[in-house]
Amino acid sequence: MAELDKVLFDLVKPMVDTPEELSVREMPSLDENEVVLHVYAKNEDIARLIGRKGSMASALRQVMSVASHADDKKVTIKFEQLDA
């Protein structure tokens, strides 16, 4: 089974200005076939990861759905800014 939180972290780390502030955590879900990943970063980095009209977030979700395909899981990614 792929460690999806580590896969997502490795994907987004080069995209942020402050990688030391970046974290990705897997959260529990009520659906056993769903994996919920929360990306925590600074506000500017979250904006970059979401992209214009959500284009970058959509691309990340697509890549992660391919990564989770072997486990037959649905991936949900949520972006959260760190409190200043």
Cβ-contact 47, 40 below 8 angstroms:
no
- What domains can be seen in the chain, in order of their start residue? 4-81 (3.30.300.20)
pLDDT values of the chain reduced to their tens digit, one per residue, 84 residues: 458 999 999 999 999 999 999 999 999 889 989 999 999 999 999 999 999 999 999 999 999 999 888 888 899 999 999 875
CA 38, CA 27: separation in Å to the nearest integer? 7
Is this model's pTM higher than 0.95 or not?
no
Which structure tokens are listed for 44? 């500017």
Residue 9: its pLDDT value, please? 95
In this prediction, residue 1 carries a pLDDT of 40
CA-based nearest residue to 79, from 31, 51, 37: 37
For tokens 């972290």, name the residue: 9
Question: What was the pLDDT predicted at 68?
Answer: 86
